[in-house]
Copies of this chain bind each other. A is one copy, B any other.
């Protein structure tokens, strides 16, 4: 469907959603997401013009079904996929992409660092209806033979252009990490835990020159504007442990990201801001507020945050806790973390576990924000539970297959799909069933209400 939309606009001087929004034009992408979000197209347009909402939609990703990231929209989640030097093949990544879409990730980032990067990315985009983001520094480093000191602005821009042409819808670039911040890092427990950030640090230390993504920021914006690639301004200095959370290094970079946001908006480039990381529960709300203030309400895209450092093997859970609270307090997209975090490269099953944990967090955030209609599906589920409609319960569950599998572990036969109990309590102890037999008798309840009233009247 999107080929036609893009085709019609091919001669326009600028083709970004933000450009159209500022001109007062409602694009078909805006109309599409307005329907999904149950918001007016005009609201979507004005939020994009204001920079508070983005539609990451590269003009060359024509199989894309547009989606929106911003506080007016539902809270979104991203799944990271990608190869590493230790484990890499095209088919494996396409499989992760299919799993990501099956469990309804809203965007996916191809973070491949091993194997044929262009081929993997091509296959990933071709198999995807959701926007694909990348961290171009990984390929840049690859292209200069893994010698960071050989990175030049020319190579950098060439790789960005190549990926933009392929249809990448957002780039994470680490442009906000400046030389002046370097001494602040020495005070940290964990230093730099962003891969891109650490590479920038190595380059800056080698040359004693400013971050090349910062230096060439205007040229980068020009590429982004040409293909409507959104920028995801990376937090090179996100805290890698609770001890480093909300420190000067993190907040200093956030301030620079705010300045870069304004520069991008001037060139009609859509922007979101990346956020932590590892943050104690009681600092999350403050982090969300600071980002809004320093970054002019550009959408916040947070990685977790993990609320403890000791949950290796279960960091999808430790981070879903932080993500839910972050989403509630205003983050627009939650980047998932899988059970393999801190331990190894996730496989397809880890992708599933990570996505569902984050669907829970994002949905809990929508409900807590008081978003209209957010709780409707929960209410439907409760109704299905109360009437023992097991098949409907499985359908409504975030992971239908898993729900059915767990139920059927003890009661596999079809007859139990309408049974008025499950193996948790067995037939004699089902509270729903007992409650229903009571509620079936409204007269008795009224009778009790009368009795209580009478006793009260007697002062008993």
Contact = CB atoms under 8 A, between A and B. Distances in A.
Contacts of A146: 428
A281 B324 contact: yes
A368 to B, nearest CB: 4
A165 interface: no
B399 A313 contact: yes
A343 B379 contact: no
B240 A345 contact: no
A227 interface: no
A407 B312 CA distance: 10
Chain multiplicity (copies): 2
A318 interface: yes
A192 B312 CA distance: 38
A317 B320 contact: yes
B314 A402 contact: yes
Given A282-B328, A377-B310, A378-B242, A190 B385 contact: yes
Interface residues of A, number: 121
A198 B312 contact: no
Interface stretch (A1-9, A60-68, A117-125, A439-447): A439-447
Interface of A: 84-87, 113-114, 138, 141, 146, 179-180, 182-183, 185-186, 189-195, 197-199, 201-202, 204-205, 208, 240-243, 280-282, 307-314, 316-318, 320-321, 324-325, 328, 339-345, 356-357, 360-361, 363-365, 367-370, 375, 377-379, 381-383, 385-386, 393-394, 396-399, 402-403, 405-407, 409-411, 422-432, 434-439, 441-442, 444-449, 451-452
B378 A452 contact: no
A424 B426 CA distance: 44
A311 B398 contact: yes
A396 to B, nearest CB: 6
A376 to B, nearest CB: 10
Contact of A311 (B138, B242, B360, B437): B360
Nearest to A283: B368
B318 A317 contact: no
Given A182-B449, A243-B382, A406-B339, A281 B364 contact: yes
B375 A201 contact: no
Contacts of A422: 342-344
A434 B191 CA distance: 10
Contacts of A195: 425, 429-431
Given A84-B426, A314-B356, A431 B198 contact: yes
B113 A426 contact: yes
B324 A307 contact: yes
Contact of A444 (B205, B368, B402, B444): B205
A191 B383 CA distance: 11
Given A317-B320, A410-B87, A426-B113, A379 B344 contact: no
Given A198-B431, A317-B320, A340 B307 contact: no
A394 B310 CA distance: 9
Contacts of A369: 282
B432 A191 contact: yes
A105 B63 CA distance: 49
Contacts of A179: 448, 451-452
B403 A313 contact: yes
A190 to B, nearest CB: 5
B318 A360 contact: yes
A424 B378 contact: no
Contact of A378 (B199, B308, B328): B308
Given A193-B435, A307-B360, A345-B423, 13 more contacts: A85-B429, A86-B410, A87-B423, A113-B426, A138-B429, A189-B379, A190-B435, A192-B434, A192-B435, A241-B381, A243-B378, A307-B367, A314-B402
